[in-house]
Structure 1
Amino acid sequence: MLTFSAGPSKVYDMMPQYLQDAYQEGILSANHRSAAFMNMYQEVQRLFHEKLHMPEDYQLLFTSSATENWEIISQSIVEKASFHIYSGSFGKKWINFAQYIIPNTSGIKIEANEVINVPHLEIGEEFDLIAITQNETSNATQVPMEVLEQIREKYPEKLIAVDTTSSMAGIELKFELADIWYASVQKCFGLPAGLGILILSPRAIEQTERKGEKGRYNSLNFMLENARSFQTHYTPNVLGIYLLKRALHDIPEIQHIDENLRDRIQKLEQCIIQSKSLRLLVENSETRSTTVLGVTGTESLISEVKKAAEAEGMQLGSGYGPLKPTSFRIANFPAITDSEIDRLIGFLIKY
């Protein structure tokens, strides 16, 4: 079954070979304090610089999931409180997590078709971190890099944390526009679930060290202390890190992936725009995601389309939360090939 689910999604076609190589190379039994692991960690960080254009002075860390990063950020980095800008379910979950740890956490919810009005943003001194869900998987929206740049220019003194769970490794991110970036590997990285990515700027590391929080299993200061020697504070998903290394080694540089995904999403959008019965979930092209396309229609039609797709060997991603009955989502992730996207378009054009 070819899946277009928004995550976990299709893995790269070379995955069977990577897994076989991992077994033959002894990766499945590798000690995370060994030279082999430290060299692998160092190589993955180098590939983040080379392939994803992460700045040289930013630090790569491994966590269990993107969700864990919500807790780490409030627990170990935020000194006063965080201010969240969000439009969908995952952004709402992030602010809820943060409020459990720091009750003074606040934020604003914007509509799916609404561009963040940066000139009218009012974020007071009681907040030292701005939290933004760059790509909201639940409702297929995104915040463009241009808007992040405006926020950075308006609030240069505040740290900015960005959720790129379903866009990192799919679009070219301007890492210098924020201090904290995170993701999971089961989406645009084209890997099995079970590994989270956390990227920190020197400013974020400095604030973490100043706060000095060390009282928990996943305290960021413990993680950073180990990362300096390319180790982890816990026994990590060594296989996941190996698979990440192999995938990063084989993919093109991010600007080429970005260009291809933007071309493909336009084809998918045009297919839905020309449809007699299906509509785009997000009407505003400025807020519509590049990596996840939301499609809406009547409840009966959505059910019919999903069943017909499965009959042809394709799985469409369900809508999320309140959008589930009347929408489906299409992953436009790099591991999905151009020919597979064309096959999906050939199916959808019938509607």
Structure 2
Amino acid sequence: MTDLTAKPDLRPANPNFSSGPCSKRPGWSFDQLSGAPLGRSHRAKPGKAKLAEAIDLTRKVLKVPDDYRIGIVPASDTGAVEMALWSLLGARGVDMLAWESFGSGWVTDVLKQLKLADARVLEAPYGALPDLKAVDFSNDVVFTWNGTTSGVRVPDGDWIPADREGLTICDATSAAFAQDLPFEKLDVVTFSWQKVLGGEAAHGVLILSPRAVERLESYTPAWPLPKIFRLTKGGKLIEGVFKGETINTPSMLCVEDYLDALKWADGLGGLDALRARADANLQVLADWVGQTAWADFLAVDPATRSNTSVCLKVVDTDILALDGDRQAAFAKAIVSALDAEGVAYDIGAYRDAPSGLRIWVGATIETGDLKALTHWLEWAFRSEKAKLLQAA
């Protein structure tokens, strides 16, 4: 008789499936960082050259238009988004789109911190998108491209008009380097390189369209701006920020690590190759979900499934018969079992999300590791369910 709880023979070579900071690129080692100008000022020629190179390679790999500015800013993607919200909003009404934790966080900032009375909120539960046809583009629009904590992304930019009146402010932190971003439809794009490229944390990237720059130079918010958010001086954009003269001191070790990841991505074939790797990884899990009865995507519409942060829910009828707390405990038991075996780290659902699993499948993950992981997912589910039934 086959033992359904026997451990699989094949293990993922890389067990790091965290959704942030994400796995380092294949073949990464500390040796790649030996060229970092450590102990030197970031404003000295070597440091400025490294920062400028990072900006130039970002433009190349992401296919950012020549007339868009790219700046490296403090405090990860959160810092980049906050700079945009505090510096740009208030000139007109704003539509806030939220369907997961981070989008909801931007709603809180706009309503409770900036206290914008003319803010309109369009929300959807985890697993779905708001009605994109209801967005009013005479307003500014703030949204996440890829909901990291729900595994739900917008399918494309077709819903954004080219002749919009307001600005589009897009948190693209789990989308950049894995999904196509139509920059002609986006006025502000933010991300952190700790996501798809697996860079070290604490640095954000802020990309501005000419329309966003025009807003910065023609509009002064009603509230004071701390120094760390200021992008203009005397009514003019501080151009140095977008040439490698950062607002505060960056880690040149982290910048070197980002450069290593960018060069790896460029060597693969750039954005197209990165997207293909992420798509292939998503397909591995999609094929597996299609063959298993106990797991399903949190994203309701297949067209909105993320190819980076894949969120799964447990749909086994015996587990669904449990109360919410016990369902959550069962999902956590699967996560703990895989962690204890050293085959998958940090794949629990985000704390504010429905209980389940969140598996990173971005470009730095190898397809073979995901295939191996699916067998361990089956093992963990069967093992934990057997314990549950034995205890009943």
- TM-score normalised per structure 2: 0.80
The Cα shift of 1:293 comes to 0.9
Q: Matches of 1:295 and 1:143 in 2, distance apart?
A: 18
After TM superposition, the structure 1 stretch with the greater mean CA deviation from structure 2, 178-187 or 230-239, is: 230-239
The offset of 1:102, in angstroms, is 4.0
1:348 corresponding residue in structure 2: 377
Do the aligned partners of 1:212 and 1:221 also contact (CA within 8 Å) in 2?
no
SS in 2 for 1:265: helix
Find the residue that maps to 1:289 and give its secondary structure.
coil
Q: Tell me which residue corresponds to 1:91.
A: 103
Maintained 8 Å contact 2:282/2:308: yes
Higher Cα radius of gyration:
2
1:55-94 paired onto structure 2 within 5 Å: 55-63=65-73, 64-78=75-89, 79-94=91-106
1:107 is aligned to 121
The share of aligned pairs that are identical, in percent, is 23
Question: What is the identity, as a one-letter code, of the residue corresponding to 1:209?
Answer: E
RMSD, aligned CA: 2.2
Aligned length: 340
The answer to whether structure 1 residue 8 and structure 2 residue 50 are counterparts is no
Q: Which runs of 4+ in 1 moved over 6 A?
A: none
1:65-106 Cα offsets, whole Å, 9 max, x none, are 111223211221122342111211110001111221142232
Q: CA deviation at 1:122?
A: 4.9
The 5 A counterparts of 1:258-297 are 258-297=275-314
With over 3 angstroms needed to count, the CA separation of the structure-2 counterparts of 1:2 and 1:224, relative to structure 1, is farther
The equivalent residue for 1:151 is 160
Q: Is the 8 A contact 2:149 2:309 kept in 1?
A: no
Alpha-carbon shift at residue 228 of structure 1 (Å): 5.2
CA contact (8 A) 2:123 2:130 kept: no
1:217-296 aligned at under 5 Å gives the runs 217=227, 218-221=229-232, 224-227=238-241, 229-251=243-265, 252=268, 253-296=270-313
- The alignment partner of 1:2 has SS state of coil
Residue type of the alignment partner of 2:57: L
Per the alignment, in what secondary structure is the counterpart of residue 33 of structure 1? coil
In structure 1, give the amino acid aligned to 2:186.
Answer: A
Which deviates further from its counterpart, 175-184 or 205-214?
205-214
Residue-by-residue CA offset, 1:112-146 (whole Å, 9 max, x unaligned): 44455444x15275x3x10111111111110122x
- 1:122/1:51 Cα in 2 relative to 1: closer, same or farther (>3 Å)? closer
Structure 2 residue runs without a partner (length 5+): 1-13, 320-326, 382-392
- 1:75·1:219 contact (CA, 8 Å) conserved in 2? no
| CA shift for structure 1 position 243 | 1.6
Q: How far apart are residue 346 of structure 1 and its match?
A: 2.9
